Amino acid sequence: MSQESFIIKEYQIEECQIEECQPGDVEKVRALFASCYGRSSDRYPSSAEWDWRYRSGVYDSTIWLAKWRQRLVAQRPTVIKTVKIGQEYHAAAHFMDVMTHPEFRYRGLFTRLLRWATAAVTEQGAVICYSFPNENSYPGYVKKTDWAPVDGLSLFIKPVRAEPILRERVRSQPLRNVLALLLQPGLALVTREGRRAGVAGVSVRRLASFDQRFDAFWDQVAEEYEVIIRRDSQHLNWRYVHRPSIEYAIYVAEKGEGIQGFIVVRTRQMFGMNLGMIIELLVSNGNQAVARALVARGVQHLLDVGAEAVACVLPDHLSYRQALRQEGFVRVPEALMPRRFYFMVRVNQDDQTLKKALDRRNWYLAWGDNDAV
């Protein structure tokens, strides 16, 4: 598959073509990012960031481009990763960074590119497709495609001070200060930490990278979930160590030489504040004491580097929510969420085992499965 022609509604004469991204298109792709998000946005990729995302050699990727009169007007990238479903490992297509130039939106490009890319990755052997759409692209998935929404992810947050929470809702600084003074005691009560017991023989320390012990850890922990994206040392180093321009802090829980679990955290300007983010939390056998020790250390790191609140996104059914609550996190009610966190899946074969991917209760998901954070 290399290209398709079709008519854009407002341009009845000119044809728009879909074709694979070539090396000479890269700067045009970055210019499309700038048109959609602005060059000052953290979504605008440097050359190194773009190479990391799509040309690292760790995963096969294809970027499908829609061009009108040789002008790049939309893109739909896909990256083939590995997912465990049941007892088998399969190719899965991660649909990322969909963009349409503002001048060409609402003309069917989203749906056509999605269908084209879905057919392409199915030919490449991907048995499922998945994506984390934002609020702009989510309706396109739900209304016009055969993708299925898998219940959205929940947001857990540990506020540190009341004032940052009020910034986007209360414009008056004096009023914010007064409200913050009134809210702070209640906030401290709601987010207080429970008693924390140590974990016998387990220590937590910071790592610079993921060594080969994490391959054995992955083999063990993968068996605990019906559906989980591969997390061996190669993937983890690509995701959290080799990414340019973003620094993640990695902490590991160890017992002797064995890995008991790990946590990955970072800060980002989000929700109008310097937000600390728990990007990944994974422990063996769902050990709550280990999970809690990792959360506590991750939170402390984030507070030390100036986080005004700490957040974690994960499905409700994962047991880690208990460790979060014990460490003072609260689940944000749906009506108060500053944004929704969607997850979409398409199963490409009529296979009952593969259909496990349509039930969120079968998934282990972390914020870091979305490469945008």
Q: Which residue has the higher pLDDT, 262 or 28?
A: 262
Do residue 71 and residue 186 come from a single domain? no
Q: What is the 3-state secondary structure (H, E, C) of 327-357?
A: CCCEECCHHHCCCCEEEEEEECCCCCCHHHH
Mean pLDDT, the chain, as a whole number?
87
Would residue 359 count as lying in a domain? Answer: no
| Residues 166 and 297 both lie in one domain | yes
326 and 228 share one domain: yes
Q: What is the pLDDT of residue 39?
A: 83
Check whether 345 has a pLDDT greater than 90: yes
Task: Assess if residue 332 is contained within a domain.
Answer: yes
pLDDT at 140: 87
- Give the model's pLDDT for residue 240: 97
Same domain as 186, residue 258: yes
Number of domains in the chain: 2
Q: What is the pLDDT of residue 37?
A: 87
Instruction: Look at residue 178 in the predicted model and tell me its pLDDT.
Output: 58
* CA torsion through residues 284, 289, 295, 301, sign: negative
Structure confidence at residue 179 (pLDDT):
60
Percent of the chain whose pLDDT exceeds 90? 59
Write down the pLDDT at residue 12.
Answer: 34
In a shared domain, residues 47 and 169: no
Boundaries of domain holding 251: 154-341
CATH number at residue 286: 3.40.630.30
Q: Are residues 161 and 289 in the same domain?
A: yes
Residue 121 has pLDDT above 90, yes or no: yes
Is there a domain that residue 301 lies in? Answer: yes
Report if residue 207 sits inside a domain. yes
Query: Which pLDDT value is given to residue 151?
Result: 79
Residues 120 and 165 in one domain: no
Is the dihedral angle over the CA atoms 34, 36, 41, 43 positive or is it negative?
Answer: negative
The band of 8, judged by pLDDT with boundaries at 50, 70 and 90, is very low
Phi, psi of 83 (to 5 degrees): -130, 140
22-31 residue pLDDT tens: 989 989 998 9
Q: Does the structure show a pLDDT above 90 at 153?
A: no
Residues 6+ apart with CB under 8 A from 98: 74, 75, 76, 77, 110, 113, 114, 133, 137
The better pLDDT of the pair 188, 158 is held by 158
Q: Are residues 215 and 101 both part of a single domain? A: no
**What are the contacts of 4-9 at 24+ separation with CB within 8 A?**
4/112, 4/116, 6/112, 8/68, 8/104, 8/107, 8/108, 8/109, 9/107, 9/108
- 230 vs 215: CA distance, rounded Å: 10
**Residue 9 — pLDDT band, cuts 50, 70, 90?**
very low
Confidence class for position 1, pLDDT limits 50, 70, 90:
very low
7 pLDDT band, cuts 50/70/90, is: very low
Q: Quick check: 228 pLDDT over 90?
A: yes
For residue 216, the model assigns a pLDDT of: 96
Do 158 and 51 fall within a single domain? Answer: no
pLDDT, tens digit, for every residue of 172-214?
Answer: 776 666 565 656 666 665 666 666 666 778 999 999 999 999 9
pLDDT digits (tens, 9 = 90+) for 351-368: 999 999 999 999 999 999
- The token pair at 46 is 């440097």
CB 7 within 8 A of CB 15: yes
Please work out, in degrees rounded to the nearest 5, the angle formed at the alpha carbon of residue 241 by the alpha carbons of 64 and 308.
100
Q: Is the distance from CB of 67 to CB of 48 less than 8 angstroms?
A: no
Cα separation, 252 vs 203, whole angstroms: 8
Question: What's the rounded Cα separation, in Å, for the pair 21 and 355?
Answer: 32
First to last CA, the chain: 31
Which secondary-structure segment (H or E) carries 249?
strand 249-255
In tens, the pLDDT along 69-102 reads 888 999 999 999 999 999 999 999 999 999 999 9
Which whole number is the average pLDDT over 333-345?
Answer: 88
Residue 349 belongs to some domain of the structure? no
pLDDT score recorded for residue 245: 85
**Which tokens sit at 2?**
């290399």
350 found inside a domain: no
Same domain membership, residue 165 and residue 122: no
Same domain, 61 and 190: no
pLDDT grade for 68, boundaries at 50, 70 and 90: confident
Same-domain pairing of 78 and 164: no
* 145 vs 346, residue with greater confidence: 346
In a domain? residue 360: no
pLDDT at 4 over 70: no
Confidence of residue 335 (pLDDT cuts 50, 70, 90): confident
- Residue 213 belongs to a domain: yes
Q: What are the residues facing 18 on neighbouring strands?
A: 4, 66
pLDDT at 60: 92
Question: What's the CA angle centered on 36, arms 30 and 39, to 5 degrees?
Answer: 55
- Enter the pTM of the model: 0.89
β-pairing, 227-229 vs 71-85, is antiparallel
